[in-house]
Homo-oligomer: A and B are copies of this chain.
Amino acid sequence: MPDKAPWITYRPQLKVLDCTVRDGGLMNNHRFSDDFVRACYQTCIEAGMDYMEIGYKNSPKQFPREQFGDWKFSDEDDIRRIVGDHDPVKTGLKLAVMADAGKSDWTQQIIPKADSVLSMIRVACYVQQIPEAVDMLHHAHEMGYETSVNIMAISIAQEVEIDQALEVLAQTPAQVVVIVDSFGALYREQIDNLYRKYAKAIEGTGKEIGIHAHNNLQLAFANTIEAIILGCNRADCTMDGLGRGAGNCPTELLLGFLRNPKFKLRPVINLLQEYVHPLHKDVDWGPNVAYNLTGKYNRHPRAAMQWRDGKQKDDFLSFYDQIISDV
């Protein structure tokens, strides 16, 4: 390889999506104050983010409204309460929501784009749910949205399943296919392996590959960089890494790394200071030994989250002994 410094420049087509409210909401049942969500929104605009994912479109039939905050459902009126008649052109920011296969009344919840401030629907599914994901992608596309598909928990999917899923997804209208390391279990070489697989599958379709990493092994930022180096043009991140369990790739680290001068770090630091750091009092996210272990053993972070909710939350040795006996 030549003794050059390609990292000194940037790819204009690389787009960043902040999913603080959507992924972080998994830690507090999406009960964020309007102030918090509005501050995130303003920060995304000021920081030059390309997308902000404001929540889920999950079914109120499955998830009783009284048990969750508005961002579990992201109704148009609730979004507009925060963003008004959001203008993606003037602000430079597009709004997105995530709809889960199996958890969304998507035929009702995804309304025509003409009536919405949203630009993108991100369809999330497990590898077992590809058929519903395909239907959802077609529906969202027909409603007029940009679409993205996130196959979750990719670290426990079988290779042949991934290959087959990608073959099917390559034929959908999804503009983006995201590598999702829900368990924060993937090391660098595994990211490479998956990237090559995704790249081969979508070759010639014009689709982009995205990366959504979790921080169980303190590798969320590193794996995001790795995917970007390989050619990913969509990267997910959250403010202070706020997200499920060990959290996500921190927006402040990712923006600090990217060289595109449109990205501004100061508004993000300001948000951390005023809104996100204070949340640590009530919401317990970020890497620790319990998440290290679920990551290492390629397990759902659920066990570690339950542990952190209990009385023994700092007894990591007992957690180790438990997870080892489960393995």
Contact = CB atoms under 8 A, between A and B. Distances in A.
Interface of A: 1, 3, 5-7, 187-190, 192-193, 196-197, 215, 217-223, 225-226, 229, 250, 252-253, 256-257, 265-266, 269-270, 272-273, 277, 289, 292-293, 296, 314-317, 320-321, 324
Nearest to A267: B317
Contacts of A324: 266
Contacts of A229: 188-189
Given A253-B217, A314-B277, A188 B225 contact: yes
Contact of A222 (B193, B218, B272): B218
| Identical chains in the assembly | 2
B193 A3 contact: yes
A217 B221 CA distance: 8
Looking at chain A's contact residues, the main secondary structure is helix
A58 to B, nearest CB: 30
A296 B265 CA distance: 11
A320 B266 contact: yes
A229 B191 CA distance: 13
B225 A187 contact: yes
Nearest to A241: B218
Contact of A292 (B5, B189, B252): B252
A132 B320 CA distance: 46
